[in-house]
Chain A
Amino acid sequence: MSLAYLVPLFPLLGFLINGLFRNSLSKSMIGIIGSGVVLASFIISVILFFDVKNNGGAVTQYFNFINVDSFKIPFAFQIDALSSLFLLIITGVGFLIHVYSTSYMHEEPAGHFGRYFSYLNLFVFSMLLLVMGANYVIMFIGWEGVGLCSYLLIGFWFKNDNYNYAAKKAFVMNRIGDLGFLLAVFWILSKLGTANYADVFAQTAKLSATDITGITLLLFVGAMGKSAQIPLYTWLPDAMAGPTPVSALIHAATMVTAGIYMIARSHALYSLSDISQNVVAIVGLATALLAASIALYQNDIKKILAYSTVSQLGFMFLALGVGAYTTGVFHVMTHAFFKALLFLGAGSVIHAMSGEQDITKMGGLRKKLPVTYWTFLFGVLAISGFPFTSGFISKDEILLAVYSYNKVYFWIAAFTAVLTAIYMFRLLMLVFFGGFRGTQEQEHHLHESPPAMTIPLVILGILSLIGGFVQLPASFGGHDYLNEFLGSGMANVPAITNENAAAAIKEYYLLGGTVIGLIIIFAATKKFFAVDKFDSEYTGFKKVLANKWYVDELYDAVIVKPLNSIAGFLKNIFEKSGIDGIVNGVGRFVQYSSRQLRLIQSGQVGSYILFMVLSVVMLFWVFWNQEIIVQFLQKIF
Chain B
Amino acid sequence: MLIQYYIALASALFCIGVVGVLTRSNAIIVFMCIELMLNAVNLLLVAFSKMHFALAQTANAATTAGTDAQLFVFFIMVVAAAEVSVGLAIIVMMYRNVHSADINFLNRLKN
A residues whose Cβ falls under 8 Å from a Cβ of B:
601-606, 609-610, 613
Contact = CB atoms under 8 A, between A and B. Distances in A.
Contact of A602 (B18, B21, B25, B110): B110
A601 B104 CA distance: 14
Q: Give me the 6 closest cross-chain CB pairs, A-B, nearest first.
A: A603-B110, A603-B107, A603-B109, A604-B107, A610-B22, A613-B18
Contact of A606 (B103, B108, B110, B111): B103
Interface of B: 18, 21-22, 25, 103-104, 106-111
B111 A603 contact: yes
B106 A605 contact: yes
8 contacts: A601-B110, A603-B108, A603-B109, A604-B107, A605-B103, A606-B22, A606-B25, A609-B22
Nearest to B104: A604
Tell me if A's interface is mostly helix, strand, loop or mixed.
helix
Nearest to B22: A610
Tell me if B's interface is mostly helix, strand, loop or mixed.
helix
Contacts of A601: 110
A90 B62 CA distance: 116
A602 B110 CA distance: 6
Nearest to A607: B22
Nearest to A614: B22
Given A603-B108, A604-B104, A609-B21, 5 more contacts: A602-B110, A603-B107, A606-B21, A606-B22, A609-B22
A610 B23 CA distance: 9
A613 B108 CA distance: 22
Contacts of A602: 107, 110
A158 B30 CA distance: 83
A191 B24 CA distance: 82
A610 B21 CA distance: 9
A606 B104 contact: yes
| Residue from A603, A606, A610 whose CB has the most chain B CB atoms within 10 Å | A606
A602 B21 CA distance: 17
| Residue from A605, A610, A613 whose CB has the most chain B CB atoms within 10 Å | A605
Contacts of B18: 613
Contacts of A613: 18, 22
A604 B25 CA distance: 11
Nearest to B106: A605
Contacts of A609: 21-22
A609 B22 CA distance: 7
A602 B25 CA distance: 15
A603 B110 CA distance: 4
A64 to B, nearest CB: 72
Nearest to B111: A603
Nearest to B109: A603
B94 to A, nearest CB: 12
A361 to B, nearest CB: 84
B74 to A, nearest CB: 27
Nearest to B107: A603
Nearest to A601: B110
Contacts of B104: 604, 606
A430 B88 CA distance: 115
Nearest to A603: B110
Contacts of B22: 606, 609-610, 613
Nearest to A613: B18
A385 B106 CA distance: 106
Contacts of B108: 603
Contacts of B103: 605-606
B23 to A, nearest CB: 8
A458 to B, nearest CB: 96
A609 B17 CA distance: 12
A624 B18 CA distance: 21
Contacts of B25: 606
B100 to A, nearest CB: 15
A605 B25 CA distance: 10
A584 B111 CA distance: 30
B28 to A, nearest CB: 15
